[in-house]
Chains A and B, each alone.
Chain A
Amino acid sequence: MDSMQLFTRQTKAISTARRSLLIIESIPGIRYNEIVDVELGTGEIRSGQVIEVGKNTTVVQVFGGVSEVDLLNSKVRYKGETLKLPVSPDILGRIFDGSGKPIDGGPPIISQKYQDINGVPANPASRMPPAEFIETGISAIDGLNVLVRGQKLPIFSGSGLPHNKIAAQIIRQASLKGKSEDFAIVFGAIGVSYDDAAHFISNLEETGALSRAVGFINTASSPVIERLSTPRLALTAAEYLAWEMNMHVLVILTDITNYADALRELAAMRGEIPSRRGYPGYMYTDLASLYERAGRISGREGSVTIIPILTMPDDDITHPIPDLTGYITEGQIVLSRPLDRKRIYPPIDVFLSLSRMMKEGIGEGKTREDHNNVFMQSYAMYAEGNYLREITTVIGSEALTDRDKVYLNAADRFEREFIAQDENSRRTVEETLSIAWDIFSMLPEEDLKLINEAYIKKYLPEPSRSE
């Protein structure tokens, strides 16, 4: 980012400092939305952003607030340019902060190429519908909520639930079925604790994934404004790797809740009229400007797949953060506290989770011919078992028929054998499907209504068939 250090112009004409805003006399060439430096009389430097440009006055929001700003000695320095990231293949294996500066002790990235971190929208007519199955090795995902290249599929978690562990498992295991080719990983940590960030990096190191990874880390103690630039830097790196280096890129952004809270905090300081729960009315559009950077482009090799992670305040899925995210992403993986209490890992709630791109990614030639049928039957079986479990809490299990008891049992097995797995176990999709078949063999065969007869012949384990 060295060329960025050369500020060209500055002004001392600050007329007002209030809340987090400075009103300065307009200066030629200052650009809407650019990031500026505010130098205090004490020599301390804070960053700020131009949020309104007028002919006479310009409004700058100072990150970190205006305390100690004085109107006589403080200066605003600007460069007439919005925030850009230097890109080159050398970014792989590197860790940066939320302003794009290296924090791994390595040299700055030298490049002729600077990309605006806001990106440029892809032409919808140039997009290619995502359809290639990604094998994560996790049954609840590969079997029931398939992830495909170019998809944006968030994890809706709650505080204390093991979303980081799941993300780490996906990073370690994700690959295209039958190919050993690995994803490039771009990791954007937004407002996370120092320990979490360190843990993620050491995880990447241990598995040898660091050499094909790029990290952008904004810890809870770093500037709030950089919570907004961190995911944009990460996505800019991802787009560069995908569209120019032809790589398949998996982007993990965590925690979007910290991002949204930063958005709210900065909007409130500007005195904007808030929408639901104090979040700004444009939060949908703002989140979309991140998530929509996922995709495939026809005629280009690479892809950008995004897994945003968020913690639902109060486990409430109607809270604006998960709600607006769900309105933008192509499904969601929802973690369940009750399953977690039962010590089921990964505690994925099958009913609330959904991958909207699943049907494109599965079937013959992609996963296996019976995948969709197995998915539907598993779902129906588990739903029935769950329903029965619910009514037994009211009316007791005496009222159940023998058939009902089989379903209760099947639902238990489904949780313990299909959903649950070790954090280090990597199941192939065939293994995942055969676990489901194994459980189906408990059911009366005529109950397998959602499965094509030919698949029943082919895949249903023998012992039950001869009964």
Chain B
Amino acid sequence: MGKIWRISGPVIIAEDMRGSQVYEVVEIGEERLNGEIIGLEQDKAVIQVYEDTVGLTVGEKVTGTGEILMAELGPGLVGNIYDGVQRSLVTMKDEVGDFLHRGVRTYALDREKKWHFIPAMKAGAQVEGGDVIGTVQETGLIEHRIMVPPGMSGVIDAIEEGDYTVEESIALLKSNGKTWPLTLMQRWPARKPRPYKRRFDPQDLLVTGTRVIDYLFPLALGGKAAIPGGFGTGKTVNLQQMVRWSQTQLNIYVGCGERGNEMADVLQSFKELKDPATGRYLQEKEIFIANTSNMPVVAREISIFIGITMAEYYRDMGYDILLVADSTSRWAEAMREIGARLEETPGEEGFPTYLGSRLSAFYERSGRVECLGSPGRIGSATVIGAVSPPGADFSEPVTQSTLRIVDALYSLDVALANRRHFPTINWLQSYSHYADSVNAWWEKVSPDYTEVRNQALITLQKEAELEEIVRLVGPEALPENDKLLLLIARMIREDFLMQSAYHPVDTYSNPKRSHLMLSTIMKFSDFARGLAEEGMMVSEISASRIKQRISRMKDVPDDEIDQYVDSIRQDMAGGAASLEEGGV
């Protein structure tokens, strides 16, 4: 047992710590605050403390637990809310009340609750790490596959259907003359990636329901993306939308150094909203980590790794998982603060020199993989991180380091936010390296996807060029064909790209709907060009009923959209005559 020797912010140094190991978890002082050893020198240990250190004094005791920081994995994670070091905030609320006092200890998984376990094999079976030995229905949406922990193998001895707590033995594993109990729960060091058989290139679209993402800058299952933007540009709303609507089996929302009210809002809405694919409450497919900005800074750093470990664990069951982290900048700032206390030589803007490698240690744990064990399974973990650049200036270190790692960028634009164009994903600056690989996926849904997408992107690009001229001469001075291009670009922006998270229908746009909307606009573009060639003024075209009906597409529910779009297209097929009949 050691003693506090020095206290400096969230970092303490303890003496008499011989025999400890780096990353070992320790308990500090009377209140048994949680900390982690991050360095050793002779008999001294440098410890980062996961709780507020105010009021500690020299000489208070420091006890090692002999263990490094582990994530608890097993049934009961889904629907739960954790702090950065995986203490259940729901349990804390019941046991210690509404405020987070220091030194409170709770388990991540409930030790009393019984789960019904159904074996998938019989005694005598030969198993190895990753094999599924049975299942537990964790929520209405998640069948929790109980796997042999990686690295273990042997013969299953006793295995029986029944109700078990996470600690009770559900089966015995015999190996080399020894017998090990298997339980519903396993533990895994949070900083260490979980193993898999092999990795694939991401190629299937991750359907997020946000049009500008799915259609223009698609994300693939197992991919990694960043979403940087100044304050109020919509990082949180976008990420919330993605964990709400993404067609994945499970989502993990890591609120890292952000707002308490926002967490409260997301927690409440997930109790009320239903998954579009299954009609069940979203809470049944989400795990939340909430380490808000006023909670201890050091826990931000580990919270991200706890989150990604859980993502990998469910990936290993053969599921598609989406993890979003809001905000990785707060995570980086936590590292900066600890680095400063350690008096390390800082890198750019005071961030530690290992900022880039720590960021990639996180993002690189995304991926689409063939899982260990049998039956054969393919699972994926997709990762999206928000970045909060100071002054919305993307040249700063966290944004720049992140851009070197991710394959898709959703660049949020303050000017669009001020214009209330949401989502503020800037179509000229954003990109996705997955666009080519998910092409095949899209073309199965809509064969003309590539063409429509390219047309739209070109139109938007030309609009940007014309805007300069408009600023100088005014829109009226442009030739008719440029006016038409501006009209179509405006329709793409307003009737397709803009998508309110709060619109009852349009909040989620499935791929087919997205395609119908954009291809109708592009058809209208051809139609209008025809009319313009016949001498019709763009101002007349712009005031037409058909155009107004296109702008109403967003309000049309999914089960009526086919018919709605059909009738627009039929009218366009009628040429100029239809404009007159429909009335301008």
Contacts and interface: CB of A to CB of B under 8 A. Distances in A.
Interface of A: 26, 28-34, 51-55, 80-82, 118, 120-130, 150-151, 243, 272-276, 281-282, 284-285, 288-289, 292-295, 297, 299-300, 318-320, 323-324, 326-328, 330-332, 351-352, 354, 356-357, 359-360, 379, 383, 391, 394-395, 399, 401, 449
Interface stretch (B56-64, B196-204, B449-457): B56-64
B294 A121 contact: yes
A125 B89 contact: yes
B145 to A, nearest CB: 28
Contact of A124 (B6, B260, B391, B471): B260
A127 B53 contact: no
B574 to A, nearest CB: 23
Nearest to A390: B471
Interface stretch (B330-338, B437-445, B458-466): B330-338
Interface in B418-476: 418-420, 471-474, 476
Most chain B CB inside 10 Å of its own CB: which residue of A34, A80, A122, A401: A122
B101 interface: yes
B336 A281 contact: yes
Most chain B CB inside 10 Å of its own CB: which residue of A29, A125, A127, A356: A125
A395 B474 contact: yes
Contacts of B330: 284
Interface stretch (B262-270, B509-517, B561-569): B262-270
Contact of A120 (B92, B100, B292, B297): B100
B474 A399 contact: yes
B56 A32 contact: yes
Nearest to A326: B231
Contact of B92 (A28, A30, A123): A123
Nearest to A395: B474
Interface of B: 4-8, 15, 52-59, 81, 89-90, 92-93, 97-101, 230-232, 255, 257, 259-261, 263-265, 267-268, 290, 292-295, 297, 330, 333, 336-337, 340, 346, 349-350, 388, 390-393, 418-420, 471-474, 476-477, 502, 551
A325 B295 CA distance: 17
Contacts of A123: 89, 92-93, 97-100
B350 A275 contact: yes
B218 to A, nearest CB: 28
A296 B408 CA distance: 37
A218 B170 CA distance: 64
B261 A52 contact: no
B333 A281 contact: yes
Contacts of A328: 259, 293
B392 A318 contact: yes
A356 B55 contact: no
B320 to A, nearest CB: 27
Contacts of A33: 54-55
A338 B281 CA distance: 49
B265 A126 contact: no
Contacts of A52: 6-8
Contacts of A51: 8
B244 to A, nearest CB: 15
A281 B169 CA distance: 49
A363 to B, nearest CB: 11
Contacts of B391: 276, 318-320, 323
A151 B59 contact: no
13 contacts: A28-B57, A28-B58, A32-B54, A33-B55, A54-B5, A82-B55, A120-B99, A123-B93, A282-B337, A318-B392, A357-B261, A359-B502, A379-B420
A277 to B, nearest CB: 10
Contacts of B57: 28-32, 53, 80
B294 A289 contact: yes
A181 B252 CA distance: 41
Contacts of B473: 395
